[in-house]
Amino acid sequence: MASLRDIRKHIHSVKSIRQITYAMKMVAAARIKKAQTAILSSRPFAVEMEHLISDLNDELSGCGGLSPAAGSLFSERGAAAGARGLVLVTADKGLCGSFNSNLLKAAAAWLRENRERKLRVICVGKKSRDFMRRLKGLDLEIDYEMTGIFPKAGYAHANLLARNILELFARPEVGSVTLIYNEFKSVLVQKIVRNELLPLKRNALAGRGTARLRDFGFEPEKAALLNVLLPRYVSAQMYRVLLESQAAELAARMNAMEAAYKNAAELIDGLTLRLNKMRQAMITTELNEIVSGAEALGG
């Protein structure tokens, strides 16, 4: 049975943990506003860039003019390409609820689907890197890893990440590149997103069917513009993904720390009640011993 000293030590340690969780919650709450603002600023640019790429692609369908590097982003390689690429975006740290575990479950499902193939992975976040390094029994290679960028992910990180993704897809043996990340919906809701980033024809780019660019003149010509925009499009999309994941992580951490703070408070109340009951029992026992001794002496 725990002594009074043990219970007091337990209460003291839980109070320390409660202070830490409260501080982490407040830090996440302070950062999430900035992260939300960054997302709202980046989404329109990414969407309009996607529309422009789509329209230019529709205009140039069957007309050629794309450079080999740009044209390869639209190439359907099919079963001839045996390898598959994966970009997994997780957090660098834990203490954010099920944020990382849900991402790793989604990645594990993708790995099971492609376990017979050569797998080439780009890891963003320490949790992603550590998970991939622990895997055994798969023909898996980590091509690139990016860690320590959250919660200060910037366009330079996205540009570097996009460059490595394009280099990965430039390998003729790689048939596709799949992206798995957490999308920020609200402070309470984060959604796991899994889509094929490359080739671009499998993305939402193709087939918008608009002709709004035909009345415009271009300098340089449309093909040259599309050649320049395609790498920037991938960079813009990855920038949005990093910001989405960053905000989702902060929201998940804030919610997890709030729940931990409440649980710590409940645990302290329970331990304090137990301590008071034990003290009361000890006082009652001592009073009974005094009364019994006095009665024995008086008798």
Site of tokens 């600023």: 41
Q: Which residues form the catalytic set?
A: 96
Residues 6+ apart with CB under 8 A from 136: none
Write out the CATH class of domain 22-256: alpha beta
Coil/strand/helix, residue 216: coil
CA 192 to chain centre: 9
Give the Å distances, CA to CA, from 15 to 11, 154, 227, 262, 272.
Answer: 6, 36, 59, 11, 12
DSSP H or E run through 179: strand 174-184
Q: What is the pLDDT along the chain (299 residues), one digit of tens a residue?
A: 578 889 899 999 999 999 999 999 999 999 998 888 888 888 788 788 887 777 777 776 655 566 676 767 777 776 556 899 999 999 999 999 999 999 999 999 999 999 999 999 999 999 999 999 999 888 899 999 999 999 899 999 999 999 999 999 988 889 899 999 999 988 888 899 999 988 886 444 544 545 555 566 767 777 777 788 888 889 989 999 999 999 999 999 999 999 999 999 999 999 999 999 988 988 888 888 888 877 777 65
**In sequence order, which ranges of the chain are alpha helices (DSSP H)?**
4-60, 68-72, 99-113, 126-134, 155-169, 222-298
Structural domain boundaries of the chain?
Answer: 22-256
Backbone angles phi, psi at 67, to 5 degrees: -70, 160
pTM for the full predicted model: 0.84
